[in-house]
Amino acid sequence: MKKIILVLPTLSQGGAERVMSELANEWANTGHHVLLVLLVKSTRFYKLDSNVELIDLAFDNEGKKFVKFVDSLNLLLRLRNLIKCNNPDFVLSFMDKYNVLTLIASFFLNVNIFVSDRNNPKEIIPKEIEILRKLLYRNAKGIIAQTSLAKEILFSKTKNSNIKVIPNPIKNFSSISNFKKEKIILNVGRLVPEKGQHYLIEVMSHLKHEQWKLIILGDGPLREVLQQQIDDLNLNENVFLMGSVKNVEEWLNRSSIFAFTSISEGFPNALIEAMVAGLACVSFDCDAGPRDVLQDNINGYLIPLHDITAFKDVVQKLMGDDFLRNKIGLEARKVSNSLSTKKIAQEYLNFCVTK
């Protein structure tokens, strides 16, 4: 059995947080000693197995610059001490800024550090993080990329040759037999510019609704802006911002179409969950993610980025064709064969445990 340290800023709602919590739970349940270190003070969304040892360093990311600087140094030293005292078989860190911190904290400790960026590989990140990543990632024992594009870009920037593509695991869904499909178009994601929900609301304004509703699950800084757009387009009876919810699975099982308008992705967790739930999915073909799992016109639809008219036409077609929705949904569900938590957790373990 292995001793594993996982490093993550928070367990708030998000794709990286979900994946890390599922890896932790799977490994703990199979007898490994898992220590999950949370770095930043926040509210927890995901539940951990009782066998996962949780250490919350609770760094406060607010306040004056000098205080933040002193606190950052303290955080670095505390993380270093944890790694040193526990002497794990490997450390796995998620998210670029915190990967850099973990690599610095592990200097001269002779511990295998694996890192994984979870954002779109083409996303512009702060210059200082970009420089540090270029310098430090080459010292990582290995890097996990979510897509082939991410692997290519990471190698060009870091020259670390030990990079492996491992997709995210899917959630295990309960039976959908007790749920009646409703005329719901669903979107799940934080209300931030990258998720592109304003495109979806505009699409809804051009559709012939026929009692269909658009449900958007998630919260974020654009909530008021999106609500104003809904008000301006007189869509208050058809479009609903539901905020962050814990019954996402229920909404997936009740819905009939999944609309994914992200313009930037690291890995499309929400889209894959919708596919596993058997929804007919329509997605923008953004840089990374959707094209790795969607085959256009076979198990879903890929729409050119920003093409609202094409997006609208496909959604309208699906709204009016029960047979087509079911056919596409059945094909989409097959993605679950290769993305179970058990399988993906073993892929991580095989990569991170050096012989």
pLDDT band of residue 66 (cuts 50, 70, 90) is: very low
**Least trusted range by pLDDT, from 84-98, 303-317, 328-342:** 328-342
Q: Mean pLDDT across the stretch 244-259?
A: 94
Q: Rg of the Cα trace of the chain?
A: 21
Q: Residue 171 pLDDT more than 60?
A: yes
In contact, 124 and 108? CB cutoff 8 Å: no
pLDDT-derived band of residue 64, with 50, 70 and 90 as boundaries?
A: low
Q: What pLDDT is stored for residue 123 in this prediction?
A: 81
299 pLDDT higher than 60 = yes
State pLDDT tens for residues 4-40.
999 999 998 888 899 999 999 999 999 999 999 999 8
User: 105 versus 149: which is more confidently predicted?
Assistant: 105
Rounded CA separation 238/206 (Å): 12
pLDDT digits (tens, 9 = 90+) for 99-141: 999 999 999 999 999 999 988 788 888 999 999 999 999 999 9
Tell me, what's the pLDDT at 103? 97
> For position 173, what pLDDT does the model report?
60
Structure tokens at 340: 């179970």
- What is the pTM (predicted TM-score) of this model? 0.74
Distance CA 43, CA 11 (A): 7
**pLDDT at position 70:** 64
Q: Where are the beta strands (DSSP E) in the chain?
A: 3-8, 33-40, 53-59, 90-94, 113-116, 142-145, 163-165, 184-188, 213-217, 239-243, 257-260, 280-284, 301-303
Q: Say whether pLDDT at 288 is over 90.
A: no
pLDDT tier at 336 (50, 70, 90 boundaries)?
Answer: confident
Asked whether the beta carbons of 190 and 306 are under 8 A apart, the reply is no
* Mean pLDDT of the 55-77 span: 72
Rounded to an integer, what distance in angstroms lies between the CA atom of residue 217 and that of residue 240? 9
DSSP state of 331: H
Q: Evaluate if residue 67 carries a pLDDT over 50.
A: no
Domains of the chain: 3-169+340-352 (3.40.50.2000), 184-338 (3.40.50.2000)
Residue 294 in this model has a pLDDT that exceeds 90: yes
Tell me what the pLDDT averaged over the chain comes to.
91
Letter for the amino acid at 229?
Q
Instruction: Determine if residue 313 is left, alpha or beta; phi over 0 gives left, psi from -120 to 50 gives alpha, anything else beta.
Output: alpha
Condensed to tens digits (0 to 9), the pLDDT of residues 174-222 reads 545 567 899 999 999 999 999 999 999 999 999 998 799 999 999 999 9
The pLDDT of residue 62 is 62
What's the average model confidence in pLDDT over 59-77? 69
d(CA 185, CA 209): 11
Question: What is the rounded distance in angstroms from the CA atom of residue 133 to the CA atom of residue 210?
Answer: 51
